[in-house]
Amino acid sequence: MSEIIETEVLVIGAGIAGAGVAAALADTHRVIVLERESQPGYHSTGRSAAIFIPNYGNDVIRGLNRASAPMFHNRDTGFFPEPLLTLRGSLTVADENSVEVCEKFIRNGIGVESISIDSAISMVPILSRDYVKAAAYQPDAQDIDVNALHQGWLRKASTLGVQLFTNTEVTSAKRVAGGWIVETPEKVFSAGIVINATGAWADLTAAMFGVKPLGLTPLRRSIAVLPAPEGHDTRNWPLVDDINEAWYLKPDGGRMFVSPADEIPVEPHDAYVDDMILAEGLYRFEQAVTVPVNRVERSWAGLRTFAPDRTPVAGFDATVDGFFWLAGQGGYGIQTAPALSALAAALIRGRAPDPTVEPLLSLLSPARFT
């Protein structure tokens, strides 16, 4: 057997979840992070077109959003020299069959304003007046600089002594007195606590540790990059989505990210675009605007992994000691990462979490599935 590398906490996965919790824990614990790919954040983190919308998600997600906001707004400029958020705004539109759905969204939302069709089209001039019959606006929606957040946490973790091993895939694990022995093709690690931050692979990782899977499901989402419509400057447009989540448009520089908002259950893999799904989504988008889709510059797909109740999982496993779940973040993983990282660190330290998050503990715990 290879020489055993000892640590207190072994984080598996160096995406946004793994990087965040490593940075949060490293001032009190010895931490090692393992990443199976050649670079951190290769999968979901590196393919996210994230936006911070306080109103986004179910009640638990909204609570995590509120708890995450202070970190985004009051960032540590030593690790995050550039702003993490940029004001964008979010516009939701409805066709004639979905006006009541839009009105309910406005009534039940937080910070959601009803706006006129004229106002909606003035924000995004390519919207079709024949299509848009109701509209809602969230002025406080902001773009998240995902790379800056992720790299800042990796820098902080490294500064505090965290070791990151890339191209290091876990091949086996066994429980020993006081912790775990974890094997990879070239190295062996010993840790008291293992954090499962492996995204779409989280259930497979759990099974390797003898932990019962929770029923996490990776869902594929596709995005097409389109050129800006001729004669239009898209840089200051808000994000636009259909009230029924049939498509969304997110401006990026001088281009448009357009997604069919697909959620196709798949096995964990290096996600790729299904051309038919993408074409169907772009067709739905075309029905809502006055310009055709003549050219797709490029496209990509990513995996958004959800627990059965579409709420993240954060906490020690209910039956196996020393195994901590940090998974199932779905489409909210970037904007909730500050709160979930802090929560995970508090639980591992044996301390009380932030009072704003403490009421959510049972709703985030993996024990809710036992």
Look at residue 208 and tell me whether its pLDDT is greater than 90.
yes
% of the chain exceeding 90 in pLDDT? 95
For residue 2, the model assigns a pLDDT of: 74
pLDDT bracket for residue 1 (50, 70, 90): low
Q: What is the arithmetic mean of pLDDT over 68-90? A: 96
**pLDDT tens digits for 331-361?**
999 999 999 999 999 999 999 999 999 999 9
Q: What is the arithmetic mean of pLDDT over 219-236? A: 96
For each of the domains in the chain, give its residue range(s) and CATH number, in order of start. Answer: 4-72+145-215+309-369 (3.50.50.60), 90-139+217-306 (3.30.9.10)
Q: What is the arithmetic mean of pLDDT over 23-52? A: 95
Of 242, 32, 344, which is closest to residue 250 (Cα–Cα)?
A: 242
Q: What is the arithmetic mean of pLDDT over 157-179? A: 97
| 170-175 contact pairs (CB < 8 A, 24+) | 170/12, 170/34, 170/36, 170/205, 170/208, 172/208, 173/208, 173/209, 173/210, 175/209, 175/210, 175/320, 175/321, 175/322
Q: What is the arithmetic mean of pLDDT over 203-212? A: 98
Look at residue 369 and tell me whether its pLDDT is greater than 80.
yes
- Spatial neighbors of 257 by CB under 8 A, at least 6 apart, are 49, 223, 224, 225, 226, 249, 250, 251
Among the residues of the chain, which ranges form H helices? 16-25, 59-73, 99-108, 117-123, 146-159, 202-208, 275-288, 337-349, 361-364
Could you tell me the end-to-end alpha-carbon distance of the chain, in angstroms, rounded to an integer?
A: 36
Q: What is the arithmetic mean of pLDDT over 64-85? A: 96
For residue 49, the model assigns a pLDDT of: 82
Look at residue 155 and tell me whether its pLDDT is greater than 70.
yes
More confident residue, 221 or 57: 221
Chain centroid offset of residue 237 CA: 23
Q: Which residues pair with 255 in a beta bridge?
A: 227, 252
For residue 110, the model assigns a pLDDT of: 86
% of the chain exceeding 70 in pLDDT? 100
Give the Å distances, CA to CA, from 196 to 34, 300, 324: 10, 26, 6
Tokens 């009230």 belong to 243
pLDDT bracket for residue 52 (50, 70, 90): very high
Of 87, 107, 304, 122, which is closest to residue 202 (Cα–Cα)?
A: 304
Give the Å distances, CA to CA, from 164 to 15, 43, 78, 276, 359: 12, 17, 20, 39, 33
- Let me know: does 244 contact 101? Beta carbons within 8 Å: yes
**pLDDT tens digits for 232-273?**
999 999 999 999 999 999 999 889 999 999 999 999 999 999
Q: What is the arithmetic mean of pLDDT over 158-181? A: 97
For the chain, the average pLDDT equals 96
3-state secondary structure of 57: coil
**pLDDT tens digits for 170-199?**
999 999 998 999 999 999 999 999 999 999
d(CA 65, CA 161): 29
